Amino acid sequence: YADSVWDSIQVKRVEDALWQSREIYRAVVENSTDSIVRCDVNGEFLFGNEAAIKLLGGAEAAPIGKTPEELGFCPAFRHTWDASLQYVVAQGFPASFEFDMEIAGRTQTLDMRFAPEYSPTGRVVSVLGVARDITERKIAERELARREEQYRVLTETMKDVVWVLDIESSKFRYVSPSVYALRGYTSEEVVALPVDHAMTPEDRAALKALTLDRVAEFESGSLAADHFYVDQFPQPCKDGSVVWTEVVSNYYINPDNQRLELRGVTRDITERRQAELELRRARANLEQRVEERTRDLTRVNAELAAAMQVKDEFLSVMSHELRTPLNAILIMSQVMLEGVRGSLNERQLRAMQTITESGQHLLAMINDILDITSVQAGTVVLDRALHEVDALCAPLIDRLRAEAATRSQSIDYVCPSEPLYLWADGRRFGQIVRHLLENAMKFTPDGGQISLFVQPDLDRRVLSVRIEDNGIGIAHDAIERIFQPFTQADSALSRQFGGSGIGLTLVRHLVELHGGTITAESAGMPGSGSRFTVQLPWQAPPVGSPHGAILAAGAVHGPHVVLIADDNPSAQRVMGDALRAAGYEVLAALDGIEAVATARLRPPDLILMDMQMPRCDGATAIRRLRQLPACAATPIVAMSSVVVPNDRALCLDAGADDYLAKPISADTVVDVVARHLAPGRSLIDAASGADARPS
């Protein structure tokens, strides 16, 4: 019984060893980049690894069990394959062959090694083949042979004459055969003649003196070994004519005999000199050609200016047409969310939130497209003022933290405790920080971490704004590409995360307009995160200098009267509801004429003026209102859906005190009204030096 058990153990060990051997063989074969096949003596494929299956046409071709003929290979390949296979079967020993194979429309050269496989009786029953793609090697070999042949015939067939001159004997040691085409002499004739025969009698003395000077210069060691001379002079031909040549030459010591030699290349420039003469004649008409080109450029510039005007008008119209209904949508959805129209059930609440988020997303895209267009056109003018950095950043952080919380993301904000002031366009600075934070949130997974660091550098006189995240990171080769318009680091990201791809482009332009720089860093690995650093010119203000301050908009519920002039009844109704809910009395007008008439009958405490209205637009209405004694100092807030670089300035020049770009949220309307009607505002602004027309 013990012997039987021992035998069973031995059999099991042999079987395990055999299994392991087969697994190793299978792994080697399947993972080999070489194509491995087994064929019967008739050429039918019995086995092929993954590389072979791909080589033979892929899994869809089902090559196993088929011959090359059945797989549709070209006759030349089938003939070579069959002949090689039969040779190995007949000889009974391994052999190697090279042959070309047409694969996917491309000819590949394969190095094929065949080895016969025998039956127990010693008969060849199949052939094992290993194929390796040597196409690149063969191409390199052919290219090397071609280049060697090219270099060999170069000096024999090139039009330029290659030569070597022995300085001591003043005779040529070598002249290429192309000298015959240049001067009519054979190479042997030129080598047998003194170098004087390569010069015209008029130039011999000057060229000899020049050669002596250059030899002395070379022997003094003051010239670099790779110093070349370039000369132009005529050379006599055998038929008595003269050909103009350009000679590039270099002195060197022949390593074989240590003699000083001059080697060079002579080129026929007769046609070039003729062309130069013709060019000088053509220059006589240059003034006329310049005038014609100037007229053409003037015409093209006029066409470009007209095209730019059409584009600006299109953007202006489209901005108004998109923003006006979007303004009503956003305000009404916000009013509904706040329960002004009654409470909403959970389903209705989700629907209104979706409407609000989609509208805000559309607004952001419209703003980005208009901004990037203005920036690229060079029409953006910064409205610089002294701003406290924390006052610009903190509200952004508060708003974005609420959004990040929905994805369990956290946003850290680190800023020095002492106030920092920056001379910048406050709105554009906020736009820079917002875009970078939103970009970090977009590419950071749920539960991720985003950080904003604000730090001044007194030595370098810059303010550093750094945004870090632990998101998906950026590949090294994509760092520069992400600042290009309509581009993301990976095209797949635009499908996964969305976005127009212009946010970072806009950020870069706005930073550069401020005279700053922006850089991006990432380890380039998934989950490594990224870091964007903005550096803006900055200097510490004098000790005790005043800084801007605006009284926070509190709950103002006094008997203030607000006049809303807007030709959009929906927007007018939504803004009116929000203001009434805040305790204001609201008057309404559908155009500028009604606004002036209403203000004359009952002077309001503040006027919200739409700038694009029929019959009488906002600018005209403001000028007429300022002529009324009761409205000469009344705060007027311009509301415009035409977002062009100078729109704000035009509104303020017309007499407005403030400017809002549509669409405008209900909260923004209430906040702006409260800020302008807050008790003591003028005293605080006067003491702090704040701008009377905040952006």
CATH number of the domain bearing residue 417: 3.30.565.10
Q: What DSSP element (H or E) covers 84?
A: helix 75-91
Categorize the per-residue pLDDT at 682 as very low, low, confident or very high, splitting at 50, 70 and 90: very low
Give 183: exposed, middle or buried? Use CB within 10 Å, 0-12, 13-18, 19+. buried
- Which among 113, 116, 76, 75 is positioned nearest to 97, based on CA atoms? 113
Sign of CA dihedral 240, 243, 244, 249: negative
pLDDT for 639: 93
Question: What's the CATH code of the domain at 223?
Answer: 3.30.450.20
Task: Tell me the pLDDT tens digit for each residue of 567-578.
Answer: 988 888 888 888
For residue 399, pLDDT beyond 90: no
In angstroms, the CA 627 to CA 591 distance is 18
Lowest mean pLDDT among 169-173, 338-342, 401-405: 338-342
What is the tally of structural domains in the chain?
A: 4
For 333-359, the pLDDT digits (tens) are 888 888 777 888 888 888 888 888 788
- Please determine, for residue 402, whether its predicted confidence score (pLDDT) is greater than 60: yes
Residue keyed to tokens 């908009």: 553
- pLDDT higher than 60, residue 217: yes
At residue 534, the pLDDT reads 96
pLDDT exceeds cutoff 80 at 112: yes
- Residue 388 is predicted with a pLDDT of 87
- Compute the distance between CA of residue 320 and CA of residue 326 in angstroms, rounded to an integer: 10
Tell me which of 142-156, 368-382, 447-461, 567-581 is least confident: 368-382
> What confidence score (pLDDT) does residue 691 get?
36
What integer pLDDT is reported at residue 432 of this predicted model? 94
Distance set, CA 364 to CA 87, 152, 369, 644 (Å): 74, 67, 9, 15
- SS3 label, residue 565: strand
**Confidence (pLDDT) at 554:** 32
Least confident span in 239-253, 336-350, 548-562? 548-562
In terms of Cβ atoms closer than 10 Å to its own Cβ (0-12, 13-18, 19+), residue 175 is: buried
Residues in contact with 103: Cβ distance below 8 Å, sequence separation at least 6, in sequence order: 55
Higher pLDDT, 489 or 535: 535
For residue 631, what is the domain's CATH number? 3.40.50.2300
User: What is the residue whose two structure tokens read 């074989």?
Assistant: 256
Confidence class for position 379, pLDDT limits 50, 70, 90: confident
Residues 492 and 631 in one domain: no
In whole numbers, what is the pLDDT of the chain averaged over residues? 82
Q: Tell me the two tokens of residue 688.
A: 């702090």
Give percent above pLDDT 70 in the chain: 86
In one-letter notation, the amino acid at residue 340 is V
Does residue 392 sit in the same domain as residue 514? yes
pLDDT band at 221 (very low <50, low <70, confident <90, very high): confident
Tell me, what's the pLDDT at 497? 44
Encode pLDDT of 70-102 as tens digits: 877 778 878 888 889 899 999 989 999 888 887
In the chain, the amino acid numbered 450 is I
Which token pair is 610? Answer: 């739409």
SS3 content of the chain, % helix, strand, coil (to 5): 45, 20, 30
* Residue 329 in tokens: 């949508």
pLDDT at 381 over 90: no
* CA-CA-CA-CA torsion sign (655, 661, 663, 666): negative
CA distance 109 to 137: 9
**483 and 578 both lie in a single domain:** no
352 is a domain residue: no
**Residue 300 maps to a domain:** no
Residue 145 lies inside a defined structural domain of this protein: no
Answer whether residue 555 is part of any domain.
no
Q: What is the pLDDT of residue 485?
A: 67
Residue 50 in domain: yes
Whether 477 maps to a domain, the answer reads yes
User: For the stretch 69-81, what's the b/e string if a residue is b when 16 or more beta carbons lie within 10 angstroms of its beta carbon?
Assistant: eeeebeeebbebb
CA atoms within 13 A on the CB side of 409: 26
Q: Do 112 and 192 have their domain in common?
A: no
Owning domain of residue 210: 158-268
- 426-442 vs 389-405: helix axis angle to the nearest 10? 30
Are 386 and 505 members of one domain?
yes
- Do 388 and 531 have their domain in common? yes
Q: What is the pLDDT, as a whole number, of residue 494? A: 45
Please report, in angstroms and rounded to a whole number, the separation of the first and last CA atoms in the chain. 100
Residue 199 and residue 197: Cα distance in Å, rounded? 5
Instruction: Give residue-wise pLDDT tens across range 483-532.
Output: 876 555 454 444 444 455 678 888 999 999 888 999 999 876 766 789 99
CA–CA dist 124, 105 (Å, integer):
35
Model confidence pLDDT, tens digit, residues 435-451: 999 999 988 999 999 99
Amino acid at 536: L
Q: Are residues 78 and 225 in the same domain?
A: no
Helix (H, G, I), strand (E, B) or coil at 32: coil
11/458: higher pLDDT: 458
What letters, b where the CB count within 10 A reaches 16 and e where it falls short, cover 427-458?
Answer: ebbbbbbbbbbbbbbbbbeeebbbbbebebee
Q: Which of 59-68, 142-151, 251-260 has the lowest mean pLDDT?
A: 59-68
Give the residue from 247, 268, 289 where a domain finishes.
268
Which of residues 175 and 490 earns the better pLDDT score?
175
Confidence of residue 25 (pLDDT cuts 50, 70, 90): low
pLDDT of residue 243: 94
Output the furthest CA–CA distance in the chain (Å, rounded). Answer: 124
Q: Give residue-wise pLDDT tens across range 257-313.
A: 889 999 999 999 999 888 888 888 888 888 788 888 888 898 998 888 888 777 767
- Report the C-alpha gap between 551 and 688 in whole angstroms: 11
Give this prediction's pTM: 0.39
Q: How far apart are CA 379 and CA 644, in angstroms?
A: 9
Q: Which residues pair with residue 40 across a beta bridge?
A: 126
pLDDT of amino acid 181 = 92
Residues 123 and 168 in one domain: no
How far are the Cα atoms of 183, 197, 542 from residue 240, in angstroms, in the given order? 9, 12, 88
Q: At 348, list the tokens.
A: 């209705």
Residue 552 has pLDDT above 60, yes or no: no
Say if residue 532 is in the same domain as residue 623. Answer: no
- The answer to whether 246 and 269 have CB atoms below 8 angstroms apart is yes
CA triplet 208, 211, 212: central angle to 5 degrees? 90
On whether the CB atoms of residues 248 and 265 are closer than 8 A, the answer is yes
Helix (H) or strand (E) holding 365: helix 346-376
The helix (run of H) or strand (run of E) holding residue 118 is strand 106-118
Tell me which of 500, 521, 537 is where a domain ends.
Answer: 537
- What is the C-alpha separation between 668 and 678, in angstroms, rounded? 15
- Do the beta carbons of residue 495 and residue 443 sit within 8 Å? no
The encoded tokens of residue 369 equal 């497209």
Range of 147-156, 361-370, 655-664 with top mean pLDDT: 655-664
626 neighbors 653 (Cβ within 8 angstroms): no
Domain for residue 324, yes or no? no
**Domain's final residue, options 71, 102, 134:** 134
**Do 126 and 181 belong to one domain?**
no
**78 and 211 share a domain?**
no
pLDDT recorded at residue 115? 93
Query: Does residue 299 form part of some domain?
Result: no
At 229 the pLDDT is 93
pLDDT over 50 at 686, yes or no: no
Q: What is the mean pLDDT of residues 411-439?
A: 90
Q: Are residues 399 and 513 in the same domain?
A: yes
Q: How confident is the model at residue 543 (pLDDT cuts 50, 70, 90)?
A: very low
Closest CA to 534 of 562, 512, 553, 551: 512
Q: How sure is the predictor about 57, in pLDDT bands with cuts at 50, 70 and 90? A: confident
